Amino acid sequence: MATTPLSLFLLSLLLSLSLDAQAQTPAAPAPTPSGPVNFTAVLEKGGQFVTLIRLLNKTQTLNQIDNQLNSSSEGMTVFAPTDNAFNNLKAGALNDLSQQEQVQLLQYHILAKFYTMSSLLLVSNPVPTQASGPDGVWGLNFTGQSSQVNVSTGLVVVQINNALRQDFPLAVYPVDKVLLPEALFGVKPPSASPPAPSSKSNATTAAAGPTTDNNSAGGRNVALGLVVGLGLVCIGILS
């Protein structure tokens, strides 16, 4: 079938209308950036972290976490002790800590980098926590295989079985034991007591006392002898 001029005209007209329609179609809106990560909301959704949230607020550690979480390019990993974990602590364990020590305990549960469960098995132990400082590294050790990860403090070993959240920049793993750092809960060396005086020193002191008294008595006897002698001389001259 031959192409007529009318057919070519209609074809070009349809093509022009199609291009105009595509040009006028609005572009899809760019994805809206997600807001800041709400760490408290993650814990509240888990439903068993009332004690942890209270401690985070009491020590103002929560503000530090939120600020760092939403400003760091490395992300963050948090090991979150459950309410049962805190309940299983020895009575008075938390109250015996100073405010600064409670902050250090909480910081010991935080790594300043985002780790998935699988990447925790590839780290170089010990991994420094945020409690590390000029006094030394407060680290955690990770072992395990496949989907099983164990975390050890030297005093406590606990298994990580699941994640409350595992999306960058925040990973949160519930733990059923409080991670106790040796620096706070380890056996402390006994304080040094002043040395007891030796028996030799006591004997020397005891011997020194009578010697001084004897010397004093001897001096008095010499003086008395001189006085008597002078008296006798005077009597002899007068007689």
Q: DSSP state, 161?
A: -
Q: What is the pairing mode between strands 148-152 and 157-160?
A: antiparallel
pLDDT of residue 136: 87
Contacts 24+ apart (CB under 8 A), 64-73: 65/39, 65/110, 66/36, 66/38, 66/39, 68/112, 69/36, 69/37, 69/39, 69/169, 69/170, 70/36, 70/37, 70/169, 72/112, 72/169
Distances from the Cα of 104 to the Cα of 59, 116, 142, 234, 239, angstroms: 10, 24, 20, 92, 101
Q: Which one-letter amino acid corresponds to residue 198?
A: S
pLDDT of residue 8: 60
Q: Is 186 helix (H, G, I), strand (E, B) or coil?
A: coil
Sheet hosting strand 76-81, strand order edge to edge: 110-111, 76-81, 170-175, 165-167
What global pTM score does this model have?
0.66
Contact 130, 107 (CB under 8 A): yes
Largest CA distance in the chain: 186
pLDDT of residue 56: 97
Per-residue pLDDT of the chain (239 residues), as tens digits, is 555 666 666 666 665 666 565 555 554 443 334 578 899 999 999 999 999 999 999 999 999 999 999 888 999 999 999 999 999 999 999 999 999 999 999 999 999 999 999 999 999 999 999 999 888 899 999 999 877 899 999 999 999 999 999 999 999 999 999 999 999 998 765 655 555 555 555 555 544 554 445 555 555 555 555 545 555 544 554 54
Task: Write out the two tokens for 232.
Answer: 């006798």
Q: Residue 155 class from Cβ within 10 Å (0-12 exposed, 13-18 middle, 19+ buried)?
A: middle
Distance between CA atoms of 81 and 173, rounded to whole angstroms? 9
Q: Where are the alpha helices (DSSP H) in 115-198?
A: 117-120, 182-185
Q: Is 47 helix (H, G, I), strand (E, B) or coil?
A: coil
Q: Is 136 helix (H, G, I), strand (E, B) or coil?
A: strand
